[in-house]
Amino acid sequence: MRVLRIAMVQMNPTVGDLNGNVHRIVEWIGEARKAQADLIVFPELAITGYLPEDLLFKRQFVNDNLRALKEVVRACRGLVAVVGYVARRGQTQSKVLQLSSDTGDRQPLYNAAALIANCKIVGTCHKGYVSNDSDERRYFRSGQQPPLLVINGMRIGVLIGEGLWRSEESAQAQVAAGAEVMITLNASPFQIGKSRSRERSLRTWARKNGVIASVVNMIGGHDELVFDGNSLILDQSGHVIARGRAFKEELLMADVSLDAVRRRGGVGGRKSGLPKKTISTVDRLLVKLPTTKGKRAHIISRVAGPLEEVEEIYQALVLAVKDYVRKNGFTRVVIGVSGGVDSALTAVIAADALGASNVFGIFMPSPYTSHESDADARQLVQNLGIELSVIPIALTFESYRQSLAPAFGQRSTDLTEENLQARIRGNILMAMSNKFGHLVLTTGNKSELGVGYSTLYGDMAGGFAVIKDVSKTMVYELARFRNAQGPSPVIPTGTVDRPPTAELKPDQKDEDTLPPYRVLDPILQAYVEEDRSLDEIVAAGFDRATVARVVRMVDTNEFKRRQAPIGVKITPRAFGKDRRMPITNGYRSIEE
């Protein structure tokens, strides 16, 4: 029986916290050794976290990451570890850890994995296909063909990133060179539906190649991104041997039998269609481990059940909030609760993430606030068990109006006064933040942000925008999902059922200004997430004037989005780093 015991660490690193990350890595290596694992695998860039961005331009940071790797190397007694880190050009094998003191040009960097056996780096693997989704091409070069790791005769291919199921040539070359197990190190951010499609692609790949396939993905929130874990090992027929839990840090262990791969035949001799020369570029790194044959019991792999879509989104938001707060040194958050569904959902997510005692609600009524909103805001706070302060804004609003009266002259009331109210609320939340050190969570959704139905420095003021990438339609779905989790709804039913309103002037409704959300949201999705043209969206069944109006609102509100706080990405294209529009933009897809 040729059995490889793999430990996969679905870890949650903090970007830049080299000491903290290494400390955890060393702990897991100890655990894996105790469990007699042959091989322990960490996610992509485990040492630095994903992605350190321009920290990578600091020579000292890259040096510190190499020093951190050294500590990991020392811990790898009696097993093989594959650890993501940042490599410099010209630093292979024995020179991996050579620090740079060069003061000249930036040296080329690689998104790399160190292959460590018995406290020695035996090789490195550079990421081959550097995607630009997270600006990786700003920092990393594409690497050469990675080697094959041969542990006690068991042949293991290693790749970084999503190359495996993109059928990259280097994966094929490793298979042709005899890989029996393929291991991929990932930092693959959550996105609706992505874990399922990742598993499908991996299954197709494993079946087609008759090779055991695995992916180790990180978890945790980092700025706009949240990583979902869902690490996987599939056997050579595509059956799940192990699946990590979504959004949970854990050490996933599995025994994989390589004999089955053998019996399917063809290892080494398999026809890959690749030129012999390509296959011959695959180096073999031979590693000898103390054999444990017969000494250890078989490990039963854990196969976590995959989550349903709405639950997956909800958990993504919870973990993102938890990690943004924790990793930035905060404990508590403050939220303006209005009685509306956006702030209610945000408050519930925050309470689930941080505990009710760490969430503070501020209700800031104006003369336009309805009794229903007042009652619902108070009911929500009571259901959640969070603390509430009520700070009315009428007095301050009046003092602004007085101060501005001479400058405004005879001009009539307009959007200015609505924005002023929103900005007073923003200031109050920021004052609470300044005074008590709480982080302000903003409550705007993607639909609003798309069409600019929000006030810069008003309801957009804060440090982290929890539902920034969640459409209003999905906000309702999430609210209903969460309400169904307990014996009684935590978000008051009035909040969910009443028509949405900003309550910044008498009898205001969102639909006075915007198309109904069931119309708006699909138009926004087509225009923002899918880059559809006006004609294409109309052809899909929408009214031309409505589409034109929405497109125009999206285009002219780029300046607001540019100053918005960051928030959690859950769609293929969030407002943020995913979508980079010029503010100065003379392009009109609509004939005017």
Q: Which of residues 323-342 bind a copy of itself (CB under 8 A)?
A: 323-324, 327-328
End-to-end CA distance of the chain: 73
Q: Do residues 168 and 128 make contact, with C-beta atoms less than 8 angstroms apart? A: yes
Q: Please report how the helices 517-524 and 544-556 are oriented relative to each other, as an axis angle in degrees rounded to 10.
A: 60
Q: Which of residues 157-176 bind a copy of itself (CB under 8 A)?
A: none
Cα(370)–Cα(334) distance, rounded to whole angstroms? 22
From 561, 469, 479, select the one nearest 521 (Cα to Cα).
469
User: Tell me, what amino acid is at 120?
Assistant: K
To a copy of itself, the closest distance from the beta carbon of 42 in angstroms equals: 17
- Choice from 161, 163, 365, 426 touching a copy of itself (CB under 8 A): 426
Give the shortest CB-21-to-a copy of itself separation in angstroms: 8
Maximal CA-CA distance, the chain: 91
* Window 290 to 329, contacts with a copy of itself (CB under 8 A): 323-324, 327-328
Give burial (CB, 10 Å; 0-12/13-18/19+) of 11.
buried
One of 403, 485, 493, 513 touching a copy of itself (CB under 8 A): 403
Tell me if residue 515 falls in helix, strand or coil: coil
Under rule CB under 8 A, which residues in 343-362 are in contact with a copy of itself? 362
* β-strand partners of 256: 4
Q: Establish if 457 lies at the interface with a copy of itself (CB under 8 A).
A: yes
Q: Using CB under 8 A, which of 39, 121, 461, 524 touches a copy of itself?
A: 461
Describe the crossing of helices 472-483 and 341-354 by its angle, rounded to 10 degrees. 50
Nearest alpha-carbon partner for 243 in 307, 290, 181: 307
Give me the amino acid identity at 35: A
Q: Does 378 bind a copy of itself (CB under 8 A)?
A: no
Pairing of strands 250-257, 109-117: unpaired
Instruction: Tell which positions 519-538 bind a copy of itself, by CB under 8 A.
Output: 531, 533, 535
CB of 347 to a copy of itself, least distance (A): 17
Q: Tokens standing for 100?
A: 């740079």
Whose Cβ is closer to a copy of itself: residue 142's or residue 237's?
Answer: 142
- Binding of a copy of itself at residue 438 (CB under 8 A)? no
- Residues contacting a copy of itself: total by CB under 8 A: 85
- CA distances 11 to 54, 169, 248, 521, Å, are 23, 28, 8, 35
Closer to a copy of itself by Cβ: residue 411 or 509: 411
Instruction: Tell me how far, at minimum, the Cβ of 64 lies from a copy of itself, in Å.
Output: 8
Site mask, a copy of itself, residues 223-242, x = CB under 8 A?
x-------------------
Residues 546-585 that bind a copy of itself (CB under 8 A): 559, 562-566, 579-585
Q: How far is the CB of 49 from a copy of itself (least distance, A)?
A: 7
Which spans in 264-369 are helix H?
A: 276-280, 309-327, 341-354
Going along 26-118, which residue ranges are E strands? 39-41, 80-88, 109-117
CB of 242 or CB of 424, closer to a copy of itself: 424
Q: How remote is the C-alpha of 453 from its chain's centroid? A: 26
Q: How far apart are CA 345 and CA 475, in angstroms?
A: 7
How many CB atoms are located within 10 Å of the residue 166 CB? 12
**Min separation Cβ 580 and a copy of itself, Å:** 5
- CB closer to a copy of itself, 305 vs 409: 409
**Residues 64-93, interacting with a copy of itself (CB under 8 A):** 64
Smallest distance from a copy of itself to CB 552, Å:
13
Minimum distance from residue 587 beta carbon to a copy of itself (Å): 3
CA distances to 451, 465, 538, 578 from 547, rounded to whole Å, are 12, 27, 7, 22
Contact status: 420 vs a copy of itself (CB under 8 A): yes
By CB under 8 A, residue 410 contacts a copy of itself: no
In the complex with a copy of itself, the residue whose CB is nearer, 314 or 324, is 324
Residue 573: CB minimum distance to a copy of itself, A: 9
Question: C-beta of 557: minimal distance to a copy of itself in Å?
Answer: 12
Stretch that binds a copy of itself, among 11-19, 166-174, 193-201, 239-247 (CB under 8 A): 11-19
Cβ distance 526 to 540 under 8 Å? yes
- Alpha helix ranges (H) inside 365-516: 371-384, 394-408, 415-436, 446-451, 472-483, 493-497, 510-513
Peptide bond into 354 cis (omega under 30): no
Q: For residues 122-141, which are near a copy of itself according to CB under 8 A? A: 132, 135, 137-138
Rounded Cα–Cα distance for residues 27 and 63 (Å): 22
Residue selected from 408, 485, 493, 513 as contacting a copy of itself according to rule CB under 8 A: 408
- Residues 293, 481: Cα–Cα separation, whole Å: 49
Binding-site member from 51, 73, 211, 234 for a copy of itself (CB under 8 A) = 51
Stretch that binds a copy of itself, among 30-38, 278-286, 391-399, 493-501 (CB under 8 A): 391-399
Site string for a copy of itself, 13-32 (x = CB under 8 A): -xxxxx-x------------
As beta bridge partners, residue 538 has none
Binding piece for a copy of itself, criterion CB under 8 A, among 55-63, 260-268, 279-287, 309-317: 55-63
d(CA 7, CA 211): 18
Q: Tell me the closest approach of the beta carbon of residue 263 to a copy of itself, in angstroms.
A: 38
